[in-house]
């Protein structure tokens, strides 16, 4: 009997290539603790926190990681982005009631504007993000 599995499988802790691309190619910070999230959200402007979920179990995660930079470009850099680390994503999903992954959570500084959960049609992304960007901070 032959084992046809490749010998160079990445370890279970390895970051999916689409997620790694967000931090390496696009320079999105990876936020792994609540203080880093608070610091990121304290900056002026609109922010998108990308909560990827488990890329090994959820095939939409890789798709969302490809879509996010395209959305940022479509909105001409109107928001900055960060990738949320595994250790804190469950707490953030619960805090902001964005329970499905992948999720894009939008903030104006630390004021929550809304979320887009799971992969959507392009027109849905455009409509929702346009609405988020039009909202004023409380």
Q: What pLDDT, in 10s, does the model give residues 22-75?
A: 999 999 999 999 999 999 999 999 999 999 998 888 899 999 999 999 999 999
pLDDT at 19 over 60: yes
Q: Using DSSP bridges, classify how beta strands 103-108 and 111-117 pair: parallel, antiparallel or unpaired.
A: antiparallel
Residue pair 55/62 in contact by the 8 Å Cβ criterion = yes
How does DSSP classify residue 48?
E
pLDDT at 98 over 50: yes
Q: How many helices (H) and strands (E) does the chain have?
A: 5, 5
Q: What is the mean pLDDT of residues 7-29?
A: 79
Residues 6+ positions from 98 with CB-CB distance below 8 Å? 51, 92, 105, 115, 117
The dihedral formed by the CA atoms of 111, 127, 62 and 43, expressed in degrees to the nearest 10: -30
d(CA 44, CA 42) in angstroms, rounded, equals 7
Q: Under DSSP, is residue 80 helix (H, G, I), strand (E, B) or coil?
A: strand
Instruction: Please state the domain extents for the chain.
Output: 17-134
pLDDT in tens, 78-90: 999 999 999 999 9
Please report where in the chains the tokens 């959507």 appear, as a residue.
120
**Per-residue pLDDT, 9:** 42
- CB neighbours of residue 24 within 10 Å: 11
pLDDT bucket at 2, cuts 50 / 70 / 90: low
At residue 100, φ and ψ (nearest 5 deg) are -95, 145
CATH 3.40.30.10: does it fit domain 17-134? yes
Q: Which residue has the higher pLDDT, 62 or 13?
A: 62
pTM of the model: 0.88
């Amino acid at each position: 009997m032959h084992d046809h599995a490749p010998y160079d499988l990445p370890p279970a802790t390895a970051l999916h290539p689409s997620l790694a691309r967000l931090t390496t190619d696009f320079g999105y910070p990876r936020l792994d603790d609540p203080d880093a999230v608070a610091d990121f959200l304290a900056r002026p402007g609109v922010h998108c926190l990308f909560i990827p979920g488990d890329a090994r179990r959820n095939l939409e995660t890789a798709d969302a990681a490809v879509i996010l930079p395209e959305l940022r470009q479509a909105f001409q850099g109107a928001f900055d982005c960060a990738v949320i680390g595994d250790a804190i994503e469950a707490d953030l999903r619960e805090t902001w009631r964005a329970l499905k992954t992948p999720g894009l959570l939008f903030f104006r500084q630390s004021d929550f504007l809304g979320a887009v959960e799971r992969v959507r049609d392009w027109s849905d992304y455009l409509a929702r993000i346009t609405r988020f960007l039009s909202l004023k901070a409380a």
